[in-house]
Structure 1
């Protein structure tokens, strides 16, 4: 259990004991798989469960009245899917698998039981939710105040840091199934503009996104270019022993 993405993610905040890991394991009782392109749940849907993403990638998004889509974020292994929707009893967004995914279904009663048995796990989940909120704030800054190249670089650095936390990335790079269309919807850019920006960053020998892999040609230079400060991700090691 120590090596599951969720345990690795929560373990960055709380040094999980054997007992807490065993309790966390109880959230993984109901495993399900979903194919790419078919929504787990829809905006406005009520009564659905939450999920923990075990493998694969998903995207959360909102559809506007004119049919346009705004991507809120991408979900990677270790992330909760629809946690807020369970607590609020209605989903304010949709979630779609980008790749085939495996998840574990989590009911509100499951969470309440875990929180009652191990309050430190409740603290860790609160940290994870707060971290997700901090990322949404940073995405607003990204779209509102950074130019296209800066916001693309910042977003790729953030993805790399998130994946590194769960053992799926490093400062060298990470496997990435995102298309330029998906990146465009997340960054407020057209796919053509994304293509130009990626070419510019590649020509400056900072990052190369090719054949499903993001390679940081110079992680330090890209970080400086994007003014990327990972403090908001709070990946500093366990704070609660």
Structure 2
């Protein structure tokens, strides 16, 4: 979708064979033929500014994207403007597949930070499915993974206490971020506001603030301008009663 905050590059900064994400242990290695196809499937890169609507609910998009760098979140809005954040998007994640399969987006995606996106044309998806069953399985795997994460998030919102919900959310985001190299000095800094947390957990902003202060008092997080710094992810996970992500190497388009 055209936007003054989205800028296309005239060339590629990162050919698929030189993708910096492929060196990370979180992602499985592609066969040479698969990598060659992905390189032709990719049509370019987009630079996205913080706050940009990358995809909008109800819109049709000719593209789908893999996040090369940066953070964003998926959300839905009620008619009165109330927002439910569904999940958070990080490097290696595929976005826009729903619009490619369903015809139009059923949710929106907004950038939490500056981002760089690899751009793919959805009209080439049939060729991918016909000629590269391994890559087709990868897309199915990514969709199933998203469903599993949503199941866990729904369980948290429905059954965990407010303190457990907040601990789970931050531990969950931190674990995913660490897997794709977003941790610094062995800690993860998450670029979210307390409003983002409230809109994810289904709590009021006041209740969210009180809950996050409890986690801060326990020495598990530090809330600073620009986001949340995770101090003790293991204790957050223990408080939430969450066993962790526990996934093997995953696909990367």
| TM-score (ref. length: structure 1) | 0.85
Q: 1:108 aligns with which of 90, 106, 122?
A: 122
Q: What is the CA–CA distance in structure 2 between the aligned matches of 1:76 and 1:221, rounded to whole Å?
A: 23
Structure 1 equivalent of residue 51 of structure 2: 37
Q: What is the CA–CA distance in structure 2 between the aligned matches of 1:171 and 1:224, rounded to whole Å?
A: 22
Q: What is the CA–CA distance in structure 2 between the aligned matches of 1:115 and 1:23, rounded to whole Å?
A: 12
Q: What is the CA–CA distance in structure 2 between the aligned matches of 1:43 and 1:65, rounded to whole Å?
A: 12
Structure 1 equivalent of residue 39 of structure 2: 25
Q: What is the CA–CA distance in structure 1 between the aligned matches of 2:250 and 2:196, rounded to whole Å?
A: 33
Q: What is the CA–CA distance in structure 1 between the aligned matches of 2:164 and 2:137, rounded to whole Å?
A: 34
SS of the equivalent of 2:53 reads coil
Counterpart contact for 1:173–1:214, Cα < 8 Å: no
Segment drifting more, 218-227 vs 150-159: 218-227
SS of the equivalent of 2:68 reads strand
Q: Which runs of 5+ in 2 are unaligned?
A: 1-16
SS of the equivalent of 1:91 reads coil
Counterpart contact for 1:85–1:92, Cα < 8 Å: yes
- Cα displacement string for residues 6-36 of structure 1 (whole angstroms, at most 9, x for unaligned residues): x468x74644334433433334332112222
Q: Which runs of 5+ in 1 are unaligned?
A: none
SS of the equivalent of 2:50 reads coil
Structure 2 equivalent of residue 58 of structure 1: 72
Q: What is the CA–CA distance in structure 1 between the aligned matches of 2:77 and 2:219, rounded to whole Å?
A: 36
Q: What is the CA–CA distance in structure 1 between the aligned matches of 2:59 and 2:146, rounded to whole Å?
A: 21
Deviation at 1:60, TM superposition (A): 1.4
Structure 2 equivalent of residue 73 of structure 1: 87
Counterpart contact for 1:173–1:213, Cα < 8 Å: no
Structure 2 equivalent of residue 204 of structure 1: 218
- Equivalenced residues, count: 235
Q: 2:196 aligns with which of 179, 182, 185?
A: 182
Q: What is the CA–CA distance in structure 2 between the aligned matches of 1:194 and 1:108, rounded to whole Å?
A: 39
* Structure with the largest fraction of helix: 1
Structure 2 equivalent of residue 235 of structure 1: 247
SS of the equivalent of 2:55 reads coil
Structure 1 residues 229 and 116, CA gap change in structure 2 (3 angstroms): same
SS of the equivalent of 1:178 reads coil
Counterpart contact for 2:190–2:229, Cα < 8 Å: no
Deviation at 1:168, TM superposition (A): 1.5
Structure 1 residues 220 and 98, CA gap change in structure 2 (3 angstroms): closer
Q: What is the CA–CA distance in structure 2 between the aligned matches of 1:97 and 1:216, rounded to whole Å?
A: 21
Counterpart contact for 2:194–2:209, Cα < 8 Å: yes
Segment drifting more, 167-176 vs 88-97: 167-176
